[in-house]
Structure 1
Amino acid sequence: MVTLPGAVVRRYERFSLYNSPYPAHDRGCAIDLYPGDDEARSPVAGEVLETRTVSCPPKPYAVDEDHLLLVDCGDVVARILHVDPSVTAGESVAVGDRLGTLVRSGFFGRWVDEHLHLGFRKREQNLRRASGSLTLTPDVDVAGVRWDGAGEVVETGPTHVRLDSPGHAGSGFAALASDEGVPLDGGLAHYAGGGVLAPADGEVSLLGTAVGGVDGRDVTWEDVAIRANGRRATGLSLFASRVPFGAKVVFHEGHDLDVGDRVEVTIEPTDDPVRLG
C-alpha cells in the first residue's frame, strides 16, 4: 500500500479514488487529483523515466492522444496520466514542479474536469499496463456532509449540473455523506462500484434508499435510478473537495436545466440501472 501525504493532497481542490469506469481505479488503486486550473503540478518527487504517448477513446470533446509519465520515486514508480508533458526522461522533479499542461482526455466523461491520474507500481511490475497499481490511501480526513436532495443549479455543462448544496464551510476535505454519515466516492450508480472515504460497515443509503454494500472501503452499488425533478438522470458524481462543491448530477445524454433552477433529487430502486462502465 502507498500513502499519499496530506501535504500533497491538500495542494489540490478535489480528489477521487473511485469516480472512474476504468480498471486502474478498481479497489481505490489510483487517485484523480483536481487542481482547479490547467497547470499540471507534480504530486511526486523523483526522476522521470519515460513519457509515452497513448491513444484515447475517440470523443468529440477530447484530444486524440493522452500521455503516460513514469517517475521513479525510489521505492515505487509513479504513473501519471492526462498531462501534455513539458518534462523529458532523465529530468528530476520535486513535488509542485510543473509537469506540463492538463489535457481533456477521451478517457473521461464530458462532465469530468481536467485532472491528474496518479497510481504507483513496484519496479518489477509492468509499468505500462493500465491495471495492477498498488492500493493507495490519501492521508487526509474527509468529513461527510449530509444532504436532503434539494438545491439550486449554480453551474451547467452539456452533460451535468452542479447544485449549491450540500454546502461545505470547513477548511478540510468533505464529501457527500450517506444517510449514515459516511462520505461517499464514485459514480452513483453509473459506474459499477464506488467507495467510502471513512470507515464503514454493512449497507449505505442515500435519500432514504439503500444504494450499496460496503466491503472494506469498496462499495458495490445497488441497482438504483437517480431522478432530478422526476426526470431520469445518469447518476451522481461523488468526490472529496476542500472548496464549496454542491452535488453534481450527471446527464450523459443532455438536460434542459439552467442556472437558478430549483432541483429535487430522488433515488429509487430500479430493474433498469444506467451503467457506463
Structure 2
Amino acid sequence: MPGAPTDGEPVEEAVRIPPGVIERYRRFSRFNSPYPAHDRGRAVDLYPGDGVGRSPVAGVVRDVRTVGCPDRSYAAAEDHLIVVDLTDDWCARAGAPPGTAARILHVIPEVSPGDRVAVGDALGPTTRSGFFGQWVADHVHLGFRPPDADPLRASGSLPVRADVPVEPVEWDGTGPVVERGPTHVVVAGPRRAKSGPDFAALASDEGAPLDGGLTHYAGGGTFAAPDPTGEAARHDRAADGACVSLFGTTVGTRIERPGEPEVGRVEWAPVDVRANGERVVGLSLFADRGERFGVKVVCPDREFAVGESVTLDVVPSDDPIRLGVG
C-alpha cells in the first residue's frame, strides 16, 4: 500500500509539540496551507496574535537565511528561515531523536547563529510573507528535520502532532458577519462550552475538529479531540477511507496508511462551499482560543457587510476551486 514502509525501512515517529508550547499562541493549524509539508501533516503554523515571533523551541541558532517571496501586492518581498539545533531536553519532551533541527519561517530574525533561545523568547517580528494568501494572518511556521538531513532544504520534514485537546464545535452554518477583510469575512458561530479545553475548531458531522483550507487546498485534517474522561488529547483513529462530512455533505476521506504516524489527514472531495447560495473560495479552518467560535470565509469576489446574516452550505462540484503554490 502507498506510504507503507518496506521490510527493514524505519517508521518515522511524529514530533509531539508539547501543550506548554501550543498554549502560548492564539491559534494553530497543521493543514491550512497549499505547501506539501502541511498537506502531509509535517509542519504546524502558530499564530501569536501580537506580531511577535516567539520561539516554540529551545536550542542554539545554527543558521539564518533570507529568501525571495512570490510577488504579492500585500506582502513583503522577502521571507526568512531560522534553523535551531534543539536541546536534548526539548527533543526528549517532544519524542524527537537527539540532533533534530527546527525550521522556523515568517519571522524577521533578530537572532544570529550561535544564539541560545528558550521557548517563548522573541526571535523577531512576524512578517507578511508572499508565501501565504492575503486572508492568512501572520504566523510562525514550524517544521523539523532529522539529524542526518539538510535543514536548509524545504522537503524531508518529520511528521508533527499537536498534543493538545481541541473542542469540536457543532454549527448549523448560519450566523452574522463579525469581521471583514479585503478577501475574507468571519461569520460568528455558537458560543463555546465554558468548561471545555482552551482551543476549539469547527466540528464535522461526525464530531471531529476540522483543520485546513476547505476545500481550496487539496488536503486537510483533523485535530485531537478531548478525551471523554478528561482534558487529554485523543487522536481520532478513523479507518483509512472513512468519510468526513459537513452540513450533511461528504467533504473528504480520511488517510491513515499502515506504518505511517497517525496525523489525522483528510483528502478533500470535489465540492464547493457556498455562502447565501453563491460559491466562495472556501473555509479557512484552524484551532482558536476565542470564547465565541468564528468561521473564516475566503471570498475575494464577494462582499458581505458586518452584521449581515450568512448561511454556508457545501455541494458536490465538477470543478472545485484548488489553489496551488506560488
Larger radius of gyration: 2
Query: Are residue 114 (structure 1) and residue 138 (structure 2) matched?
Result: yes
Where do 5+ consecutive residues of structure 2 fail to align?
1-13, 88-97, 225-235, 257-263
**Equivalent position to 2:82, from 59, 69, 72:** 69
Partner of 1:228: 275
1:181 counterpart = 2:207: yes
- Paired position in structure 2 for 1:247: 295
Quote how far apart the aligned CAs of 1:245 are: 3.5
Q: Which of 21, 26, 46 does residue 8 from structure 1 map onto?
A: 21
Range 241-250 or range 66-75, more displaced: 241-250
Residue segments in structure 1 that go unaligned for 5+ positions in a row: none
Q: Deviations over 1:65-86 (max 9, x none)?
A: 0000000003210000000011
Change (3 A) 1:268 1:62: same
Q: Is the 8 A contact 1:223 1:270 kept in 2?
A: yes
Instruction: Give the Å deviation of 1:231.
Output: 1.5
**Which whole-Å CA distance do the structure 2 matches of 1:206 and 1:90 have between them?**
48
Paired AA for residue 29 in structure 2: S
Give the letter for the 1:111 counterpart.
Answer: W
Per the alignment, residue 237 of structure 1 pairs with 284
Q: Residue 37 of structure 1: which of 34, 37, 50 is its match?
A: 50
1:274 aligns with 321
Distance 1:239 1:68 in 2: 23
TM-score by length of 2: 0.83
Secondary structure, aligned partner of 2:21:
helix
| Structure 2 match to 1:85 | 109
Q: Retained in 2: the 8 A contact 1:144–1:177?
A: yes
What secondary structure is seen at the aligned counterpart in 2 of 1:79?
strand
Kept after mapping to 2: 8 A contact 1:167/1:246: no
Displacement, 1:20? 0.3
Equivalent pair of 1:54/1:65 in contact (CA under 8 Å): yes
Per the alignment, residue 5 of structure 2 pairs with none
Tell me by how many angstroms 1:171 deviates. 4.4
Letter in 1 for 2:244: V
Shift of 1:254: 3.0
Task: Determine whether 1:158 maps to 2:206.
Answer: no
Paired residue type of 1:248: K
Please give the TM-score of this superposition, normalised by the length of structure 1.
Answer: 0.97
The structure carrying a bigger strand percent of its residues is: 1
Q: Deviations over 1:10-60 (max 9, x none)?
A: 000100000000012132100000011101111001000011001111100
Contact 2:167 2:197 in 1 (8 A): no
Is 1:145 the equivalent of 2:185? no
Contact 2:186–2:295 under 8 Å retained in 1: yes
Q: Tell me by how many angstroms 1:159 deviates.
A: 0.7
Query: Identity rate of aligned residues, in percent?
Result: 58
Cα displacement (A) at 1:123? 2.3
Rounded to whole Å, the distance in 1 between the matches of 2:106 and 2:293 is: 23
Superposition CA RMSD, Å: 1.1
After TM superposition, which residue ranges in structure 1, 4 or more long, deviate above 4 angstroms? none
Report the counterpart of residue 205 of structure 1 in structure 2.
245
